[in-house]
Amino acid sequence: RIYRKTTIHIYYQKQMKIHVGQGERPLFTDNHEIGTIKFTFPPLPRGEITVRIELSTDQNGVLKIHVSDNLGNNSVEHTFESISTVLTLEEIIKMKQTAEEMRHQDELLLQKAHLLNDIESRVYEIEKRCKELDNQMDADYKADVRDFLESIHAVIKQRDFTLEQLEEFKDSTEQ
């Protein structure tokens, strides 16, 4: 059994589409797609819903996925028959070779993704804190913070950055 929890980070999101795949690469598009599951939940503010995904297989290769939210309101279960999860030996060998060849690039990609998530979370916390303290900040300080956040949003939006640039942005959000 494999468990994974994810917290919803989009305000008032109502549903998520869970892509189920087979493979060893960090990007879903680099793996074999088995299928998708749609999961709906009540629209709440960011961070208030956590979704738990549980995967299990039986001795016949049947994959079962159970998805539920932390509110206990919604859950869905889906079964993927073994025919959709079976790859040929050649396909498995090729996928493993590709994963090994791409290991370094994949590690960099994961590091970037984790840093980007940290930065986005910190930006969210800074924005939240600024709203709470809005009346206590002088105009010049507000302008500086706004400019700082706009510059980070611009970089995040373009998605064209090096690992070093992301580390610098992360450090700047900690100050």
Q: Which residue has the higher pLDDT, 163 or 136?
A: 136
State both tokens at 128: 């939240």
CA angle 65, 68, 70 (to 5 degrees): 150
The predicted structure's pLDDT at residue 78? 93
> What's the sign of the alpha-carbon dihedral 23, 25, 30, 34?
positive
At 84 the pLDDT is: 61
Nearest to 88 by CA among 32, 27, 35: 32
Lowest mean pLDDT among 6-10, 14-18, 145-149: 6-10
**Contact (CB, 8 A) for 48 and 10:** no
HSE, CB side, 13 Å, CA atoms: give it for residue 94: 8
Q: What is the pLDDT of residue 106?
A: 94
Query: Model-level pTM?
Result: 0.69
Q: What is the pLDDT of residues 66-85, one digit of tens each?
A: 999 998 888 999 998 766 66
Q: Are 131 and 168 in contact (CB under 8 A)?
A: no
Q: What is the DSSP annotation of 122-148?
A: HHHHHHHHHHHTGGGS-HHHHHHHHHH
DSSP string, 30-50: GSEEEEEEEEE-----TTS-E
Quick: pLDDT tens for 113-129. Answer: 888 888 888 888 888 88
**Which one has a higher pLDDT value, 173 or 128?**
128
Surface-to-core class of residue 138, CB atoms within 10 Å of its CB (0-12 exposed, 13-18 middle, 19+ buried): exposed
Residue 53 or residue 88, greater confidence: 53
Looking at residue 25, what is its pLDDT? 92
Which alpha helices (DSSP H) does 67-102 contain, by range? 82-85, 89-101
Q: Looking at 50-64, 66-80, 160-174, which range is the least confident one?
A: 160-174
- When pLDDT is averaged across residues 84-102 and rounded to a whole number, the result is 87
